[in-house]
Structure 1
C-alpha cells in the first residue's frame, strides 16, 4: 500500500508541473521572432506589425513538373477570429523563399506552417 500512495503523489506532482509550465508568465512580452510553426493570438502572443521569414524550413524541396510540393513550402494565414476556422482567413501566402506577412491590428490570429522564424520588420 505505501507504494500506491507514493505513485499517486508523484503523478499529482507531475500534473501540477505540466499545467504550470504551459501558463505564460503574467505581463510577458509578445514573441519576436515568431516560431515558424504554430498558431498565435495577436496581442497576448505576438504584436501587430510587418514580419519577414527566410522561407521554407524544409531541409530539402520536392518538385513535381517544376512546381514545389506543398510540404516543401512555407505557408501562413491571418484570421479575423481567434481560431483556425478557414472561413475566417483574412490573408494567406505560401512560398519556398523569403516573404512578408502583414499582421495588422484588425487581425486576431496568425498561423505559420513549415516556415523559418518570423522577425518583426516594423
Structure 2
C-alpha cells in the first residue's frame, strides 16, 4: 500500500480493513409443496403430515407385459435416519397415478423420485 505524506512528512502505511457482517441464514420454512424429485429431512426441509401427489411426472409411460417400468412410476421412501440408507426404509410406495405419503414425526427423512409435486393434505 502507498505511504501517505502530510506536508512533506511521511506518516506511515495506510491500512484499510473492511468489516463485513455475515448473518447466519434465517431458518427457512419447510417447503410446501414438496418438489417431486429430491431428498428432504423432516423438520427443517418438510413438515410432518399427510401429503398427496398426482402421480408420475413422466410425460409418457412405458409398459411391458401390462406392467409400467420403474422409470414410468413415481416412487417415494421414508427413512428412520436423516440419510437415504436402504437398510433404514420405514415405508415406500410407487404408482403411475395419484397417491399419498404419510410423513409422520417418527421418520427422519423423505425421498421422492419422478413424482409430481406433493401438497400437504389439511
Offset, 1:27:
2.2
Distance 1:28 1:53 in 2: 23
Offset, 1:73:
0.1
The aligned counterpart of 1:111 is 111
Alignment of 1:81-100 (within 5 A): 81-100=81-100
- Displacement over 4 Å in runs of 4+: none
Where does structure 2 lack aligned partners over 5 or more consecutive residues?
Answer: 1-23
The aligned counterpart of 1:75 is 75
Structure 2 SS opposite 1:61: coil
Alignment of 1:1-122 (within 5 A): 25-122=25-122
Distance 1:59 1:96 in 2: 11
Deviations 1:36-75 (A, max 9, x none): 0000000000000000000000000000000000000000
Larger Rg: 1 or 2?
A: 2
Which structure has more helix as a fraction of its residues? Answer: 1
Where does structure 1 lack aligned partners over 5 or more consecutive residues?
Answer: 1-23
Deviations 1:9-34 (A, max 9, x none): xxxxxxxxxxxxxxx94121100000
- What TM-score, normalized by structure 1, do the two folds share? 0.79
Which structure has more strand as a fraction of its residues? Answer: 2
- What TM-score, normalized by structure 2, do the two folds share? 0.79
**Aligned Cα RMSD in Å?**
1.1
